[in-house]
Chains A and B, each alone.
Chain A
Amino acid sequence: MIGTFSYAKFLKFLYSVAEAERGWEKSGVNGKLTAPLDWLYGLVRLPGRRIVTPVVNQMREAMATLARLQARSKAVGQQYYFRNSVVDVFRKKENDAAVKIQSWFRGCRVRAYIRHLHRAAIIVQKWWRSYLSRQHYQLVVKLAYYTMKMNLYNEMAVRIQRRWRGYKIRKYCFDYFYLKEYLRAVTETNDAIRDALEEFAEMKEREEKKAALEREEKKRDYQARKMHYLLSTKQIPGIYNSPFRKDPDPWELRLQKAKPLTHQRPRVKQKHSISLTSWLACTSNRSFPRSEILPPINRKQCQGPFRDIAEVLEQRYKPLEPTLREAEPINELKEAREDLRRQEWIRNVNDNMFLPFSSYHKNEKYVPSMHSSSKYGPNSYGCQRFRDENPKKWICPKDFQTVLPSFDLFSKYGKLYSKAGQIV
């Protein structure tokens, strides 16, 4: 509170106090504290006056005031101190109050500002969000509309497809009614076949029975013919015609109808040998028919352009006169050889052929040549391949030096980078 004490300031203060006392008196109600100083400066500023006297007066006044003041200096000091401290006491409070008021006010101001800002921001945001939502809403509506349309189309497409698939299957792939028809037709055919087969079997049975009956009949007939002698005569009743019977046995009637058997004439066996001459002589019945009775000698010639009968018959039944070439078979020589061979086969005791004497000494053993019979095995000529190198057989480890260059064909041998010339 009491800072550095400077005399100039103190003087100034004193003047101010003094003039303040005076000033209040002079200026009255104003209370302007600047009045005393103005008075002082007024004095200085006024032109044409003698500055010394006012100044000396002033100086005297000042000195008096100073003395007065110095008498009160202690009290002034104390008063000054007290007034400062009181002011200080209140100053802090007042300062705090002022600060509080100011801060509150500032706070209100700021809050009002912030509120204003909030409102503005809210309005902006409100409008922006409504804009966004409207856009989104439009999209949603579009999507919903689109979905609804597609659902409808799908629904309709499913209906069409359903109808079409049903139709296609029923008409082209699997016709249920056709299958039913087919199975019915198969059943009918089966029944028909079964009936037909039954009939066939029955027919066969009947035929067999008939055949059996006929066979029986034939046998009985044959028996009756054989037993013909048992027929009853007028004098002697046969065994089947006993007088004690009411009517004769059926065998009796059969015997009456039967014709007795006669002895069999011995059948002449025909000779079936078929040789060349007899075949062409046409003596068999299957060929030209020839009657056994010759035509009469003096027969009248038939009217018309006919040849003489005798000539015709002679021509027709002329025997074959084959040429000598025809008479012998074509491979007669071969057959004769074969025949000879067969004859010898019968006669010979030993089937092995006799060898000719010239090959008598040909029982020497075969002597193979030295090349193939060497026990060291065949030396494949030129070694396996002419270009092979067999280091084991070399006399010295180094290769031969070539005095002259070999001709071009072999100069590159073994020296090429590629593997083309290498022997595998």
Chain B
Amino acid sequence: MSQRQVLQGVMSLLRPLLLDVVPTIQQTAALALGRLANYNDDLAEAVVKGDILPQLVYSLAEQNRFYKKAAAFVLRAVGKHSPQLAQAIVDCGALDTLVICLEDFDPGVKEAAAWALGYIARHNAELSQAVVDAGAVPLLVLCIQEPEVALKRIAASALSDISKHSPELAQTVVDAGAIAHLAQMILNPDAKLKRQILSALSQIAKHSVDLAEMVVEAEIFPVVLTCLKDKDEYVKKNASTLIREIAKHTPELSQLIVNAGGAAAVIDCIGSCKGNIRLPGIMMLGYVAAHSENLAMAVIISKGVPQLSLCLSEEPEDHIKAAAAWALGQIGRHTPEHARAVAVTNTLPVLLSLYMSTESSEDLQVKSKKAIKSILQKCTYLPALEPFLYDAPPNILKHVVGQFSKVLPHDSKARRLFVTSGGLKKVQEIKAEPGSLLQEYINSINNCYPEEIVRYYSPGYSETLLQRVDSYQPLAN
């Protein structure tokens, strides 16, 4: 017998047991169904097709709490696999009964009901809207205030799943007064609860400036910064995600975070973890620096650039490297001081090697190229630019030579250094089409020096000298 036939057989056996007289049998049958549906989505589909859901929904309304827990478990197990199955659950009217279960006295029942609602709302915005329309949100907010930690966790995770889809849903959650309760619970010592709380707040704050401002008004700063020092990795990740979602909207919010010392905390957090946990922190620094040059300067003085360049060089994954490259580009693109701060840490050669290497993904190449270009256009720190003369591709070389041509006419020490370090020689060797921008830059560099030096360093000078020796007639005495 194929697995599907087995499944159908099982369902038709379990179905009448659900309506047995003995309550224990009902509960055990429901538990069995729940475990079957939890394991595999084919089984979950079989549960739906076997028309078991309406009966479960009916008995949810009036049986005792063990049965309610088991029935809610079945609903959760079915709803978690795919949006279609969740839609089937909604269609058989389960939402109202689950919401009634949320009002139950027993915390286990509430937890099971909240879990089921959370899994249903996770899939897409329509299902979330259906959950909200059933009136679940105020009850979930009440559940959060309950003393049991497990219930709080599940309720927070359900609120997070509801509010992540669209701004209207997030607004509904906020209107139920969730933010104040969530903000209070950041101080709770339980790590898993903190994960869910921070995730819920970040899903609310990510949609718009108003929501982010409301989250900030709940006075989460500087308390959230303590979460960045937590032992649990995911708490750190969710905390930096929350800070990132707040910082990315407007410069004022970023300034608020920087004023509260958030930049330093995030930088330390980046230093203390590895891999994907770092990613939201890196992006947060990038967003803060992108808003204005004062904020970028604040990031620089909080010692962010050495940390970011460390991330860039030691992370194995391409998408984290791409994020670090982007963040460095945002920091360095404002003024020559910023570019100097980035160039001093020797990140530019790393960026160049990432751009040139064939193993980097396309996203990484594009981001590192943009970062190099934007930093180079403002960089006047010549010792960092010199290595670029030797191994840069032509489209970047153009910018490098351009920067040299801007700095050299005004600085005599730099000119001397340029000659002695072999830069002038290299510039002479560059071939450029006459009339192109590169040729103009080369000409303006050559104009800074006396003609003899330029001729001395131009390629083929030794040959011309030797030719002159050949053709020289010594004066006959």
Answer yes or no: A193 CB below 8 A from chain B CBs: yes
Residues of chain A contacted by B19 (CB below 8 angstroms): 342, 346
Contact (Cβ within 8 A) A182 B294: yes
Interface size band for B: 20 to 34
Contact (Cβ within 8 A) B225 A197: yes
Contact (Cβ within 8 A) B229 A338: no
Give the complex CA separation of A184 and B65 in angstroms. Answer: 61
Contact (Cβ within 8 A) A197 B229: yes
Answer yes or no: A372 CB below 8 A from chain B CBs: no
Contact (Cβ within 8 A) B294 A179: yes
Instruction: Determine which residue in B228, B259, B263, B302 has the highest number of CB atoms from chain A within 10 A of its CB, and name it.
Output: B302
Contact (Cβ within 8 A) A190 B263: yes
Q: Which residues B259-277 have CB closer than 8 A to chain A?
A: 259-265, 268
Answer yes or no: B393 CB below 8 A from chain A CBs: no
Contact (Cβ within 8 A) A186 B226: no
Contact (Cβ within 8 A) B301 A186: yes
Instruction: Determine which residue in A183, A189, A192 has the highest number of CB atoms from chain B within 10 A of its CB, and name it.
Output: A189
Contact (Cβ within 8 A) B297 A189: no
**Min C-beta distance of A203 to chain B, whole Å:** 10
Answer yes or no: B222 CB below 8 A from chain A CBs: yes
Answer yes or no: B105 CB below 8 A from chain A CBs: yes
Residues of chain A contacted by B301 (CB below 8 angstroms): 183, 186-187, 190
Contact (Cβ within 8 A) A200 B226: yes
Instruction: Determine which residue in B105, B264, B265, B268 has the highest number of CB atoms from chain A within 10 A of its CB, and name it.
Output: B264
Contact (Cβ within 8 A) A197 B268: yes
Instruction: Choose one: B16, B58, B264, B302; the contact of A346 (CB below 8 Å).
Output: B16
Residues of chain A contacted by B105 (CB below 8 angstroms): 274
Residues of chain A contacted by B260 (CB below 8 angstroms): 189, 193
**Min C-beta distance of A23 to chain B, whole Å:** 112
Instruction: Choose one: B64, B228, B229, B259; the contact of A186 (CB below 8 Å).
Output: B259
Answer yes or no: B258 CB below 8 A from chain A CBs: yes
Residues of chain B contacted by A346 (CB below 8 angstroms): 16, 19
Answer yes or no: B298 CB below 8 A from chain A CBs: yes
Residues of chain B contacted by A272 (CB below 8 angstroms): 65
Contact (Cβ within 8 A) B222 A201: no
The chain B residue with its CB closest to the CB of A194 is B264
Known contacts A183-B298, A183-B301, A342-B19: does B225 contact A193 (CB below 8 Å)? Answer: yes
Answer yes or no: A273 CB below 8 A from chain B CBs: yes
Contact (Cβ within 8 A) B58 A197: no
Residues of chain B contacted by A191 (CB below 8 angstroms): 264
Contact (Cβ within 8 A) A190 B229: no
Give the complex CA separation of A338 and B54 in angstroms. Answer: 12
Contact (Cβ within 8 A) B58 A193: no
Q: Which residues B435-450 have CB closer than 8 A to chain A?
A: none
Known contacts A197-B265, A342-B19: does B302 contact A190 (CB below 8 Å)? Answer: yes
The chain B residue with its CB closest to the CB of A335 is B62
Interface size band for A: 20 to 34
Give the complex CA separation of A186 and B263 in angstroms. Answer: 9
**Min C-beta distance of B271 to chain A, whole Å:** 11
Residues of chain A contacted by B229 (CB below 8 angstroms): 197, 200-201, 204
Q: Which residues A155-204 have CB closer than 8 A to chain B?
A: 179, 182-183, 186-187, 189-194, 196-197, 200-201, 204
Contact with A along B344-361 (1 / 0, CB 8 A): 000000000000000000
The chain A residue with its CB closest to the CB of B51 is A351
Contact (Cβ within 8 A) A194 B268: yes
Instruction: Determine which residue in A179, A190, A346 has the highest number of CB atoms from chain B within 10 A of its CB, and name it.
Output: A190
Give the complex CA separation of A354 and B7 in angstroms. Answer: 29
The chain A residue with its CB closest to the CB of B293 is A179
**Min C-beta distance of A192 to chain B, whole Å:** 7
Contact (Cβ within 8 A) A190 B294: no
Known contacts A186-B302, A346-B16, A346-B19: does B222 contact A193 (CB below 8 Å)? Answer: yes
Contact with A along B209-232 (1 / 0, CB 8 A): 000000000000010011011010
Give the complex CA separation of A122 and B422 in angstroms. Answer: 77
Main secondary structure of the interface of A (DSSP, over half): helix
Q: Which residues A183-228 have CB closer than 8 A to chain B?
A: 183, 186-187, 189-194, 196-197, 200-201, 204
The chain A residue with its CB closest to the CB of B303 is A190
Contact with B along A335-373 (1 / 0, CB 8 A): 000100010011000000000000000000000000000
Residues of chain B contacted by A194 (CB below 8 angstroms): 261, 264-265, 268
Give the complex CA separation of A194 and B19 in angstroms. Answer: 62
Give the complex CA separation of A194 and B228 in angstroms. Answer: 11
Give the complex CA separation of A182 and B58 in angstroms. Answer: 64
Known contacts A183-B301, A201-B229: does B261 contact A192 (CB below 8 Å)? Answer: yes
**Min C-beta distance of B22 to chain A, whole Å:** 15
Residues of chain A contacted by B55 (CB below 8 angstroms): 342, 345
**Min C-beta distance of A292 to chain B, whole Å:** 26
Give the complex CA separation of A183 and B299 in angstroms. Answer: 10
Instruction: Choose one: A182, A193, A204, A273; the contact of B261 (CB below 8 Å).
Output: A193
Residues of chain B contacted by A179 (CB below 8 angstroms): 294, 297
Q: Which residues B1-55 have CB closer than 8 A to chain A?
A: 16, 19, 55
Give the complex CA separation of A187 and B264 in angstroms. Answer: 9
Contact (Cβ within 8 A) B228 A183: no
Contact (Cβ within 8 A) A189 B225: no
Give the complex CA separation of A118 and B250 in angstroms. Answer: 92
Give the complex CA separation of A204 and B263 in angstroms. Answer: 22
Contact (Cβ within 8 A) B258 A186: yes
Residues of chain A contacted by B297 (CB below 8 angstroms): 179, 183
Q: Which residues B220-255 have CB closer than 8 A to chain A?
A: 222, 225-226, 228-229, 231
Contact (Cβ within 8 A) A186 B16: no
Residues of chain A contacted by B64 (CB below 8 angstroms): 273
Contact (Cβ within 8 A) A197 B226: yes
Give the complex CA separation of A191 and B19 in angstroms. Answer: 66
**Min C-beta distance of B368 to chain A, whole Å:** 28
Residues of chain A contacted by B65 (CB below 8 angstroms): 272
Residues of chain B contacted by A204 (CB below 8 angstroms): 229, 231
Contact with B along A250-280 (1 / 0, CB 8 A): 0000000000000000000000111000000
Give the complex CA separation of A179 and B293 in angstroms. Answer: 11
Instruction: Choose one: A193, A274, A345; the contact of B265 (CB below 8 Å).
Output: A193
**Min C-beta distance of A42 to chain B, whole Å:** 120
Give the complex CA separation of A273 and B67 in angstroms. Answer: 13
Residues of chain B contacted by A196 (CB below 8 angstroms): 222
Residues of chain A contacted by B228 (CB below 8 angstroms): 197
Contact with B along A369-385 (1 / 0, CB 8 A): 00000000000000000
Residues of chain A contacted by B264 (CB below 8 angstroms): 189-191, 193-194
Residues of chain B contacted by A200 (CB below 8 angstroms): 226, 229
Known contacts A186-B298, A197-B268: does B259 contact A342 (CB below 8 Å)? Answer: no
Residues of chain A contacted by B263 (CB below 8 angstroms): 186, 190
Contact with B along A117-152 (1 / 0, CB 8 A): 000000000000000000000000000000000000
Contact (Cβ within 8 A) A338 B58: yes
Give the complex CA separation of A167 and B225 in angstroms. Answer: 40
**Min C-beta distance of B14 to chain A, whole Å:** 14
Give the complex CA separation of A197 and B302 in angstroms. Answer: 15
Known: A186-B302, A193-B261. 8 other contacts (CB 8 A): A179-B294, A186-B298, A187-B301, A197-B229, A200-B226, A200-B229, A204-B229, A274-B105
14 contacts between A and B (CB under 8 A): A182-B294, A182-B298, A183-B294, A186-B263, A186-B302, A189-B264, A192-B261, A193-B260, A194-B264, A194-B268, A196-B222, A197-B265, A272-B65, A274-B105
Using a CB–CB cutoff of 8 Å, the interface residues on chain A facing chain B are 179, 182-183, 186-187, 189-194, 196-197, 200-201, 204, 272-274, 338, 342, 345-346
Using a CB–CB cutoff of 8 Å, the interface residues on chain B facing chain A are 16, 19, 55, 58, 64-65, 105, 222, 225-226, 228-229, 231, 258-265, 268, 294, 297-298, 301-302
The 6 residue pairs across chains A and B that have the minimum distance between CB atoms:
A193-B261, A190-B264, A189-B261, A201-B229, A186-B298, A197-B229
